[in-house]
């Protein structure tokens, strides 16, 4: 399978290049960056520290995708939607780890996915997706007797808050408890804010330094507390999950899938 990577000169793009080179059955054929980026025209392998690959970084997504089968996209929702439009027009697959989609942006992505298969996942880590499964089971067992709080930590360059992974964790728990996440999520407590609502799910954010990503969901009861945590030590786990999603996507029908589909956890 031939793969192109958007954002190829960035930190995540570099890890994706290495992961594609290491993955059996995948071949890197394209590397894309935004127009005007200083590394356009350079060899993507040299930029990523992977040695010369003969793949030049380009700003022309449409031309690059002619040769590729699937686009790997770890950018931002507005950029992902533009990339989806190009892939849908060309009949190419897309795997995206972008986070921070609004409901309206998600609906727009679903329209493009009527033409092509798309993996859209806030976190490509196999471990995080195992946590999603564990959270569902924990919420099922514990029910309404435990308060739920979610704390996430990321580096100081992250633009969205809370993280897409934290939001998905909240959604998983809320769905299992029969709650609407958008109605019960509490992002801010300050001053005399009153007692904690029984149904609410607290969402707390920490930003600093170079933290790759940490998430903890607390189920807090009377006299006991359960914590389900995941800590990322490097971006490589996201990249490996993305290459796994690429291979899984081959031959799939048009539509939006996530890593729970890829890992057969549903």
Contacts of 63 (CB under 8 A, 6+ apart): none
**pTM higher than 0.85 for the full model?**
no
Is residue 154 part of the annotated active site? The answer reads: yes
State which fold the 126-232 domain adopts.
Answer: Dihydrodipicolinate Reductase; domain 2 (3.30.360)
Q: Using alpha carbons only, what angle is made at residue 169 by residues 163 and 174, rounded to the nearest 5 degrees?
A: 125
Q: Which of 154, 157, 247, 252 is catalytic?
A: 154
Average pLDDT over every residue of 147-156: 97
Give first-to-last CA distance, the chain, whole Å. Answer: 26
The CA distances from residue 94 to 38, 82, 141, in Å, are: 25, 12, 36
Is residue 2 part of the annotated active site? The answer reads: no
Q: Which of 158, 247, 252, 266 is catalytic?
A: 158
pLDDT in tens, 196-247: 999 999 999 999 999 999 999 999 999 999 999 999 888 888 899 999 999 9
Check: CB of residue 232 under 8 Å from CB of residue 179. Answer: no
Say which CATH superfamily domain 2-120+235-262 falls into: NAD(P)-binding Rossmann-like Domain (3.40.50.720)
Q: In this predicted structure, what is the pLDDT of residue 159? A: 86
Task: Please report, for the chain, the start and end positions of each structural domain, with discontinuous segments joined by +.
Answer: 2-120+235-262, 126-232
């Amino acid at each position: 399978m031939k793969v192109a990577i958007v954002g190829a000169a960035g930190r995540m793009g570099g890890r994706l290049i290495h992961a594609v080179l290491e993955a059996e059955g995948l071949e890197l054929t394209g590397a894309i960056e935004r127009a005007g980026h200083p590394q356009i025209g350079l060899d993507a392998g040299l930029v990523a520290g992977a040695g010369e690959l003969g793949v030049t970084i380009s700003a022309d997504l449409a031309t690059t995708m002619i040769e590729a089968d699937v686009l790997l996209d770890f950018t931002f929702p507005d950029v992902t939607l533009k990339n989806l439009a190009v892939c849908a027009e060309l009949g190419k697959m897309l795997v995206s780890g972008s986070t921070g989609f609004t409901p309206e942006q998600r609906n727009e992505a679903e329209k493009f996915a009527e033409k092509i298969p798309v993996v859209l996942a806030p976190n490509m880590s196999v471990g995080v997706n195992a946590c999603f499964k564990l959270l569902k089971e924990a919420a099922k067992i514990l029910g309404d007797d435990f308060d739920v709080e979610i704390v996430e930590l990321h580096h100081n360059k992250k633009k969205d808050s809370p993280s897409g992974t934290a939001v998905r964790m909240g959604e998983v728990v809320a769905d299992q408890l029969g709650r609407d996440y958008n109605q019960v999520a509490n992002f801010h407590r300050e001053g005399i804010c009153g007692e904690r609502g029984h149904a609410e799910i607290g969402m707390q954010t920490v930003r600093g330094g170079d933290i790759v990503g940490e998430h903890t969901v607390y189920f807090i009861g009377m006299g006991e507390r359960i914590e389900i945590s995941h800590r990322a030590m490097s971006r490589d786990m996201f990249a490996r999950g993305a290459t796994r999603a690429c291979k899984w996507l081959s031959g799939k029908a048009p539509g939006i899938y996530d890593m729970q589909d890829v890992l057969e956890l549903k």
